[in-house]
Amino acid sequence: MIDENNPFEYVLILGILPLLMGTRNLLTSLLVTLVAVLITIIISVINQYFIKKYLEGKSRWLVLIAMALGLSYSSRLIIFSNFPKIINSSGIHITLLGVVPLVYMGCLEKLQNKDFLENIFIFIVFMFTTALFRELLGQGTFLGTKIIPPGSPPLAIMAKPAGAYITLSLLWLLIKVVYRKAEDINQKISKKESE
């Protein structure tokens, strides 16, 4: 289904849940990204220096899941005291960040440290791009400030769940096309060099 060598596609599929549910507007995406990235880094460090040494197989994953859930629930409580409106609309999704595949990315054996940081950066870019697109088109605002002139209604569908699916599918298609083009160019260059 996905090209594992394409890091963009890899991050998109691992983080599909936060990318769909946390991109209704920029502020929500900022908080969801922050929580997801922090949990990913903490879980990765704990796994690398403690868990990996003592546990293996299923038990290792169960401990990691329990830890990630504890962290996501704590984040929910912290966000609730500062941004209650966001918790009302996305609270359950923030709690569930603890069981999103993306947060276990750093625990995968084959992933190098450099790739891990690169993937986190890609995830941040994806979150903000999708949220910016959806907030601008769906609500006509930027960080809550109206920027579309009065009289031109926003494209309400983009603020709805369907808008999240459509935006993400377009982003995915763009990634595939650009990545393939870049690969073709690289192949041509290496061919020319060998000639």
Partner 1 sequence: MTDSAVLFWESVLTKNIVLVYFLGILLVVVEANNLKESLRKGFKFTVALLSASLLGLIIVISSGLEIGFLSLWIYLISSLIAVYFLQQSGELQDEWLGLPKMILILPIMMGLPLIVESRGLDISDMIFVVAGSSIGFYLSFIIIAAMKEKILKTDANIIKEHGPSLLMAIGILSLIILAFVFI
Query: Could you give the angle at the alpha carbon of 182 between the alpha carbons of 181 and 188, nearest 5°?
Result: 90
Question: Which DSSP helix (H) or strand (E) runs through 142?
Answer: strand 141-142
15, with CB counted inside 10 A (0-12, 13-18, 19+), is buried
115 HSE (CA, 13 A, CB side): 15
| Binding residue (CB under 8 A) for partner 1 from 45, 78, 92, 147 | 92
Minimum gap (Å) between residue 165 Cβ and partner 1? 3
By CB under 8 A, residue 32 contacts partner 1: no
What is the sign of the dihedral through the CA atoms of 83, 84, 90 and 91? positive
Q: Any contact of residue 90 with partner 1 (CB under 8 A)?
A: no
Identify residues 143-172 at the interface with partner 1 (CB under 8 A).
Answer: 157, 160-166, 168-170, 172
- Out of 41, 42, 69, 124, name the contact with partner 1 by CB under 8 A: 69
CB of 194 to partner 1, least distance (A): 28
Selected binder of partner 1 within 99, 117, 178, 182 (CB under 8 A):
99
How far is the C-alpha of 168 from the C-alpha of 112, rounded, in Å? Answer: 26
Toward partner 1, which CB reaches closer, 85 or 145?
A: 85
> Is 9 a residue that touches partner 1 (CB under 8 A)?
yes
CA 27 vs CA 96, 107, 157, 172: distances in Å? 18, 28, 19, 23
Token readout for 149 is 């002139």
**Taking contact as CB under 8 A, which single stretch among the options 2-10, 43-51, 147-155, 181-189 is the one that binds partner 1?**
2-10
Which residues of the shown chain bind partner 1 in the complex (CB under 8 A)?
1-2, 4, 9-10, 13-14, 16-17, 20-21, 58, 61-62, 65-66, 69, 73, 91-93, 95-96, 99-101, 104, 108-111, 157, 160-166, 168-170, 172-173, 176
